[in-house]
C-alpha cells in the first residue's frame, strides 16, 4: 500500500479494478481547509488519462508491473509475435498492444514488454534505433544553411523528418521517445 502523500511520477497503483501509472502529481496546501494531492493518472491498459484528487492519508494498493526483454519475430497480418529470450516461447500480441512501438521495431530486434498479472499491456522499443531510409526526395545542393528537413520513410514504415543531406539507403539513428532524427550513421 502506498499513501497519496508518497505519490511520485511513474509509480503504478491499482484503483477501480484497473492499473494506473502516475503521470503528474501536485501536493496542494490551501490557505484554509485540508491539504490534498492532485494527480493525473494514465490507465496502462487502455491509455486513458484521468485527473483525480486524493486525501494525502488515503492509501492505494501498489500494482506490480513486470517487464521482460523479448525479441520481435514477425507479424502475420493480424498478430505480432514476440519470443521470450529465456524460455523461447512465442507470444502473439494484437495491433492495439504494439501500435505505438512497432513503427520503430525491426524483425529480430528486442523490445521491452510490460505485464500485469501475466497479461501483456505495453510494448516499448529501445530508446534509440538504427533504421535504413527506404524512400525520400533528394536534397538540393547548397540548400543546407537553413536547417530545413524533409520527410523520409524508414524500413519499418515510420515517417521521420530528416535533414536535406540524408539520402535513400542511408542508415539513421532515431530517438523512439520523440520520433526525431538523431544522426546519420
pLDDT of residue 120: 84
Architecture in CATH for domain 128-184: Beta Barrel (2.40)
pLDDT of residue 173: 94
HSE of 7 in the Cβ direction (CA atoms, 13 Å)? Answer: 31
pLDDT of residue 144: 59
pLDDT digits (tens, 9 = 90+) for 99-139: 888 899 999 999 999 888 888 888 889 999 999 999 998 87
Could you tell me where in the chain the CATH 2.40.50.140 domains are found? 66-124, 128-184
Architecture in CATH for domain 66-124: Beta Barrel (2.40)
pLDDT of residue 142: 60
pLDDT of residue 70: 94
Could you tell me where in the chain the CATH 2.30.30.30 domains are found? 2-60
- Rounded Cα distance between 8 and 6, Å, is 7
Instruction: Look up the CATH number of domain 2-60.
Output: 2.30.30.30
Extended beta strands in the chain, E state: 2-3, 12-15, 18-28, 36-43, 49-54, 59-60, 66-75, 79-84, 90-94, 110-116, 119-124, 128-136, 149-154, 159-163, 171-175, 180-184
| Cell representation of residue 79 | 498478430
pLDDT digits (tens, 9 = 90+) for 141-184: 665 566 788 899 999 889 999 988 888 999 999 998 888 999 99
pLDDT of residue 132: 93
Amino acid at each position: 500500500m502506498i499513501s497519496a502523500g508518497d505519490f511520485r511520477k511513474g509509480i503504478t497503483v491499482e484503483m477501480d479494478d484497473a492499473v494506473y501509472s502516475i503521470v503528474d502529481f501536485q501536493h496542494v496546501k490551501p490557505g484554509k481547509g485540508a491539504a490534498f494531492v492532485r494527480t493525473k493518472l494514465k490507465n496502462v491498459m487502455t491509455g486513458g488519462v484521468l485527473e483525480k484528487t486524493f486525501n494525502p492519508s488515503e492509501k492505494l494498493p501498489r500494482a506490480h508491473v513486470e517487464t521482460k526483454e523479448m525479441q520481435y519475430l514477425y507479424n502475420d497480418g493480424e498478430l505480432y509475435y514476440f519470443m521470450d529470450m529465456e524460455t523461447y516461447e512465442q507470444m502473439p500480441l494484437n495491433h492495439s498492444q504494439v501500435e505505438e512501438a512497432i513503427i520503430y521495431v525491426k524483425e529480430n530486434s528486442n523490445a521491452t514488454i510490460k505485464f500485469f498479472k501475466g497479461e501483456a499491456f505495453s510494448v516499448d522499443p529501445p530508446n534509440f534505433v538504427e533504421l535504413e531510409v527506404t524512400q525520400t526526395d533528394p536534397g538540393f545542393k547548397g540548400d543546407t544553411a537553413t536547417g530545413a528537413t524533409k520527410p523520409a520513410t524508414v524500413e519499418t514504415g515510420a515517417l521521420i523528418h530528416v535533414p536535406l543531406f540524408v539520402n535513400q539507403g542511408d542508415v539513421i539513428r532515431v530517438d523512439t521517445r520523440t520520433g526525431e532524427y538523431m544522426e546519420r550513421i
